[in-house]
Chains A and B, each alone.
Chain A
Amino acid sequence: EPEVTQTPSHQVTQMGQEVILRCVPISNHLYFYWYRQILGQKVEFLVSFYNNEISEKSEIFDDQFSVERPDGSNFTLKIRSTKLEDSAMYFCASAARLSNTGELFFGEGSRLTVL
């Protein structure tokens, strides 16, 4: 069964460092998302990406965050200068169609720990 894969599974970084989280969405999907989940809390939307541009973003997705799809397969989330409060599980998701008509498939997540 096709799946969304994410790397790394766990990254530890020092505050102020740049972090790049990588995702390989399901191959025929067109819509891509990043969500985050702070430990023990709900899953929060960060950003959606379609047709090589951001289609929607939340208040959490400030100037420290960026996304790109550099080669048509990988979908990356970059945090330019990490803060302690960026520590969370980051989930990538993809969909063949918009979620009100099709399923959102999630990866297993990348745990980011900022020290």
Chain B
Amino acid sequence: GENVEQHPSTLSVQEGDSAVIKCTYSDSASNYFPWYKQELGKGPQLIIDIRSNVGEKKDQRIAVTLNKTAKHFSLHITETQPEDSAVYFCAAPGGSQGNLIFGKGTKLSVKP
């Protein structure tokens, strides 16, 4: 089955700096890679996703890149703000019924 590895587990940046979180996956047939943001006491919320037919997708300050050959994808947050502080999870399809396999999460702290 699919296995998703995520690094780093914690990341601390100064406000305004960029943050990069990386994930690798094991199943070369996987074709959909979402990123979720989880704020304290809340459920995960989708912030951006990428499908395997593109290499990069951007939405304002966040972007995701995908390298299918190397089986890794990354989340890039530019001009970080304190409200970006949260736990971020990458994920990949875990089966044929829409379930997702999540990485272990990255706790991002943005210091003002």
Q: Identify the A interface with B (CB < 8 A).
A: 4, 31, 33, 41-45, 48, 50, 55-56, 58, 91, 93, 95, 97-101, 103-109
Contacts and interface: CB of A to CB of B under 8 A. Distances in A.
A43 B98 contact: no
Nearest to A103: B46
Given A56-B96, A98-B96, A103-B34, 19 more contacts: A42-B89, A42-B102, A42-B105, A44-B102, A45-B94, A45-B101, A48-B95, A48-B98, A48-B99, A55-B97, A56-B95, A56-B97, A56-B99, A91-B44, A99-B98, A99-B100, A103-B46, A103-B49, A108-B42
B31 interface: yes
B89 A106 contact: no
B104 A50 contact: no
Contacts of B104: 41-42
B12 interface: no
Contacts, number: 70
Given A42-B102, A104-B34, A98 B97 contact: yes
Quick one: which of A4, A98, A108 has the most chain B CB within 10 A? A98
Contacts of B41: 108
B99 A33 contact: yes
Contacts of A97: 98
Interface string B82-110: 00000001000111111111111100000
Quick one: which of B31, B97, B98 has the most chain A CB within 10 A? B98
A61 to B, nearest CB: 11
